Amino acid sequence: MGSSGKFFVGGNWKSNGTKESVKKLVQDLNFAQIPSDIDVIVAPTYVHLPYVVENIKDRFQVSAQNCWVGKAGAYTGEIAPEQLKDLDVPWVILGHSERRSLLKESNEFVGDKTANALAHGLKVIACIGETLEQRESGQMYNVLEGQLSGIADRIADWDNVVVAYEPVWAIGTGKVATPDQAQEVHAFIRKWLADKVSPNVSSAIRIIYGGSVNDKNAAELAGKEDVDGFLVGGASLQAQSFATICNANAKVAV
């Protein structure tokens, strides 16, 4: 594993779930066999956060899927970081490609949100990734550098940041970056952080992969040196599949 930190698996439930389905998923996760030596995070919708915080086992940490760029106030529809803290939600996902594309969030805006969340004591899963057009036209590394710079220009302390590389062309499409493709980009990210931020940050930070990760491809991906975990979408809505992904690193270690 490239990072010196624990293997990290996050489950992004996106805009999915009803009272009943979330209750069942939480119950199933509470009975699932999850390794004790990894960090496991689940990210329900805002409306389900209180239920999940109160009912999921302490083995799991809880994340929001987004938060506001400033403090609480007259920002209709937004959730401020101090409100997440008040709910005992320690993590937040920022910069997900769906928000970048659908809501036109810029690199700078994602960086500002990251800095604000960290300043309020949250931990951040910061997402970056390129589209298929950007990859095939040779712009991939420029795109990733711009996304990383948007964050690096605004924060000094990376201790509470996990970087999630999510190739946009592989999110929800069933297409997955090959293990070698994932490793190539993760190694690039780690080198960029060593050159532009510091070698200490580069060696300590966890760089996780997201993009149609499932219970069948996770172990092979986990075997790559710089893949320190996963951010899982659809497969995180099925407790058994998610548990299998959480065990991927254990299979590699054996």
Catalytic residues: 96, 166
CA dist 15 → 85, 105, 124, 183 (Å): 21, 18, 19, 29
Would you say 211 and 176 are in contact if contact means Cβ atoms under 8 Å apart? yes
- For residue 75, how many other CB atoms are within 10 A of its CB? 12
Length of the chain: 254
The two tokens of residue 175 are 């297409």
How many other C-beta atoms can be found within 10 angstroms of the C-beta atom of residue 230? 30
Q: Which residues face 251 on adjacent strands?
A: none
Collect all residues with Cβ–Cβ distance below 8 Å to 146 and sequence separation of at least 6.
107
